[in-house]
Each structure stands twice: as C-alpha cells, then as structure tokens.
Amino acid sequence: MTASPQRFFETWEAARDAFRAAAAAHPNVGASGAIDILPGYTLDYAWTGDADAARVLVYSSGLHGIEGFVGGAVQCELLGDDDALRPGEGCAVLWLHSLNPWGMAHGRRVNESNVDLNRNFLPENQAFEADDAAYARVAGLLNPTRLRRLDPFYLHVALQVARHGLPTLRNGIARGQYSQPNGIFFGGDRHETTTRTLMDTVLPWLAGRERVVWIDLHSGRGARGDVVAFVDGAPTAAQGARAHAAFGDMLHAWEPGSELGYEMRGGMLPELARRYDADRFEALTVEFGTAGDIAIVKAMRAENWLFHHGPAASRGGRAPADHPLRQAMRAVFNPADPAWQRGALAHGHDIHRRALRLLTAPAPAVVA
C-alpha cells in the first residue's frame, strides 16, 4: 500500500503544482490550462468527462484566497480517485483551482485590490455603493489603525451584541461594504479580473447545458470538523427539493436570521446563476468549518491591520508567513491539524457522491 499523497500545502505555488500534477495524471482529463489573473498568478482549470456533456458539475476553490488550500486539497483528492471520478454518461466535471491566486499566495482572504471577491459580483444595474450605515457603526472596531497588545475586541463585540443583537451585528459586518477600500469585507469599486474572467470566459464554456451544478469550496465558518452546505441565490421549489434530497443534513439555511445566515451583496454564485439561467443552474457554497464567526473576524481584522497599518517592514504583504498574525489567519482558514485535514478530505468524497446525485437527479415534481 502506498502512502496517500500530500494534499495540503503552505504556498500557492505548491498547491498549484499539485493541482496541475493531479490533472495531468488523470486519464480522463480533457482540456486543461491556466488563465492569468495577474502576471505570474493563474487560475488553473481542467475538465474530466465529456466536455460537451449535457450536465456539468463545477468545483471552484480559492475565491477567498487562503481558503483555497482546503478546496484545492479536496480537488486533488478527488482527481486522485478514479472511482470517485466517473461522472457518468452525459456528465462532465470542470475543476477551477484558485480563483483568487494572489490572495492564496499572500495568505489573505481578499485579492490584490483588498477586494472580497464574494462581494464583487454586482449585477450591471447596481452601483458599487451600498447602505453602509450598519458597517459604519462597527467600522472603527473592525478596522483599527492601531492594534493594542491587550486587544479588547471580544469585549467590544459583546457590547455590540448586547446593544443590537448578533444577527444585526453579523449583517453589518459581513454584508459587504463599498466605502472603505482598506476595510474588511470591501466589495470593490468595479468588477475585478477574477469576476470578469468567470463572467466572460468561464460562463460561456457552460452555454447550452441541460443542468449545471456549481459547488464553491470555502473554509472557516462552522464548527471545527463540520462541513456545511448552503444553496445560493433564489432556488426554485424543485431545485430546493433536489438539493435537500442530495445533501440532506449537510444543508443549512442561509437566510438572514438563521443560525449561520446573513444578508450579502455581490455574491459570486447568485450572479453567475442569474447571468446563466437560474432554472438550469444549481449553486451550492460548501464550508469546511474551523472556528466561530467572531474568531474568524478577529483573525481577519488583525491581519488586515498588519497589511495596511502594521510596521513598515510588515505592510503590503511583506510580513513573513510565520508572523503571528498571518499564522492566526492560517489557524482559522487552513489549520495545520492532520485530523481536521483528513476529515476535510473524507468530507470531500461525501460531497462528491452527493453532488453527482444532484447532477443526475431527474427533475422531480415541484413540492408545494
């Protein structure tokens, strides 16, 4: 028995090379290649199965940079397993590795313009501005220009929760803001290169299919070791029923006010579905849980301070990977914990079985 190959890496280059090697080694890979997002930073892709198939399953990783280490590991794990990779007659899988390669390379969740790409997919008729009043209330807390050694972040969060409630606070923080370019959850002021690439290059590859199932892989939210899936956009009753039949208990409600939900603008999958044809496009976000929301925001906030306001030697991405604040990001988005990593890969196989079930499910009667 051979030892299973390493799936988790500490650099974007190593993860990219592993994806390329896994795709090259698979006998069923058709077209593959790389798209430059920035000079030297690529989004890599590969097709398995018949690229002209009527039904296509898409796996994307790394929209949130550093979260791509887990998504990429799961992609390589599945590409390394022949049995898991028989999508069946009339089906194909499109693998998209590291949608935000610069963010992944720099251990950030955002891209090279400090943009949270999952807030950047606004429809053409919506301006890159929002009602940021709720964000403004917590902006000072989220984006300090000085970080104290004894940081009273949790105390201030507790006060905000007491005053406004957790759902309101979560919406204010995570909905996406368009007024503070150096702040966290900044949605940008134009469509970024990754956004345009997916809209203008990748989406046309999928034109005319009978069904597309797109699974976007993330990490962070949810209890450590858990995996949670959310249906994105505004699924029809039939789509909701199909997703529940395939994903069962793994599926959580996204709606604001639910345990894990919040309002969000500029999300990738809802906008891709709308541009494609939402009736033929089923979109799921999958999160490999590591920590609670507040712990995640704490790590993002400190790393964002380091990037924009830290000591000159650490600013602008110059901090070494072993800087404590970069390590804190890693701990909540890509923990170096073998048990968690093994669990994520096992969940990956489970997700794939469920995704194929969803891809090949007949269109059921609409459940009232």
- The residue among 48 and 290 lying less far from Zn ion, judged by its C-beta, is 290
Instruction: Output 49 or 68, the one with its CB closest to Zn ion.
Output: 68
Q: Tell me the Cα Rg of the chain.
A: 20
Least distance from C-beta 89 to Zn ion, angstroms? Answer: 33
- Joined tokens for residue 153: 């972040």
Q: How far is the CB of 218 from Zn ion (least distance, A)?
A: 3
CB nearer to Zn ion: pick between 85 and 268: 268
Indicate the residue among 77 and 116 with the shorter CB distance to Zn ion.
116
Burial class (CB in 10 A: 0-12, 13-18, 19+), 57: buried
Interface with Zn ion in residues 180-239 (CB under 5 A): 218
Looking at residues 125 to 184 of the shown chain, list those that interact with Zn ion (rule: CB under 5 A).
Answer: none
Token pair for residue 320? 């070494």
Compute the least distance from the CB of residue 154 to Zn ion, in Å.
Answer: 22
What does the alpha-carbon distance between residue 126 and residue 91 come to, in Å, rounded to a whole number?
Answer: 35
The count of chain residues that interact with Zn ion, using the rule CB under 5 A, is: 3
Nearest to 63 by CA among 197, 223, 201: 197
CA angle 76, 80, 83 (to 5 degrees): 130
- Nearest distance from C-beta of residue 107 to Zn ion, angstroms: 14
Smallest gap from Cβ 175 to Zn ion, in A, equals 14
3-class SS at 96? strand
Per-residue contact string for residues 60-79; x = within reach of Zn ion by CB under 5 A = ----x--x------------
Q: At what angle do helices 166-174 and 133-142 cross, to 10 degrees?
A: 80
Give the residue with the Cβ less far from Zn ion, 64 or 352: 64
State the minimum distance, in angstroms, from the CB of residue 67 to Zn ion.
5
CB closer to Zn ion, 12 vs 47: 12
Token pair, residue 314, equals 């650490």
Q: How far apart are CA 29 and CA 87, in angstroms?
A: 12
Minimum CB distance to Zn ion smaller for 56 or for 66: 66
Say how far apart CA 328 and CA 299 lie, in whole Å. Answer: 6
CB of 287 to Zn ion, least distance (A): 7
Residue where the block lists tokens 């759902």:
167
- How far apart CA 66 and CA 211 sit, in angstroms, is 30
Residue 289 backbone dihedrals phi, psi, to 5 degrees? -70, 145
Closest CB to Zn ion among residues 64, 354: 64
**Which neighbouring-strand residues pair with 215?**
59, 284
Q: How far is the CB of 118 from Zn ion (least distance, A)?
A: 6
Binding to Zn ion (CB under 5 A) within 295-334 occurs at none
Amino acid symbol at 74: V
| Distance in Å, CB of 269 to Zn ion, minimum | 12
- Which residues, in sequence order, are CB contacts of 280 under 8 Å at separation 6+? 209, 210, 211, 212
- State the Cα–Cα distance between residues 309 and 302, nearest whole angstrom: 10
Which CB, 62 or 235, lies closer to Zn ion? 62
CB 63 within 8 A of CB 202: no
Q: Which stretch binds Zn ion (CB under 5 A): 40-48, 58-66, 148-156, 238-246?
A: 58-66
Residues that bind Zn ion (CB under 5 A): 64, 67, 218
